Amino acid sequence: MIVRTLADIKASDKNVVSKGWESARLLLKDDGVGYSFHITTIYAGAELPMHYKNHLETVYCISGEGSIEDLATGEIHEIKPGTMYSLNNHDRHILRGKTEMIMACVFNPPVTGREVHDDTGAYPADKAA
Ligand code: 9YT
């Protein structure tokens, strides 16, 4: 069994800080459960173009407000506490934080550690997978 606290992860090198967001990675590939689990903070005013072409990501909004734009359709979905979105088609999107948002995120395959987005908005494929 794995038991961890958000406070401990935030104080460790598993808390990754990037432009417009930071993410406490509570479960990673090495934990061996087949996915990674993160609590991500999207900063107020952040505008984040992303395209996880090597991963599937599902996100649940715990607090805050914002939106996600589906770049394939132009559709914009409001995000508020209780909203879930799943990028089941590796969807290209822009995530916008109207306020600070706290999001629970799952990645399949799991991220391995300290990934941040590349120029295309992706994390690299895990070569060892
Ligand atoms: C919600 C989202 O995609 N945020 C970007 C960071 C990502 N969730 C991560 O690496 O934890």
Taking the CA of residue 57 as reference, the ligand 1 atom at the shortest distance is: 3
Degrees, nearest 5: CA angle 81-36-19: 65
Give the range with max mean pLDDT: 51-55, 111-115, 119-123: 51-55
Q: Taking residues 77-98, what's their average pLDDT?
A: 97
Q: How many CA atoms lie within 13 A of 107 on its CB side?
A: 28
Pocket of ligand 1 (CB under 6 A): 21, 23, 38, 40, 50, 57, 59, 95, 103, 105
Give the model confidence (pLDDT) of 56-77 as tens digits: 999 999 999 999 999 999 999 9
pLDDT value at position 51? 93
pLDDT value at position 120? 82
Taking the CA of residue 25 as reference, the ligand 1 atom at the shortest distance is: 11
pLDDT value at position 125? 81
Q: Taking residues 5-19, what's their average pLDDT?
A: 95
Fold annotation for 19-108: Jelly Rolls (2.60.120)
pLDDT value at position 122? 80
pLDDT value at position 5? 98
Residue ranges covered by each domain of the chain: 19-108
Reading the block at residue 27, the tokens are: 């479960």
Gap from CA of 40 to ligand 1 centroid (Å): 6
Is pLDDT above 80 for 127? Answer: no
Degrees, nearest 5: CA angle 50-54-58: 65
pLDDT value at position 3? 98
pLDDT band at 129 (very low <50, low <70, confident <90, very high): low
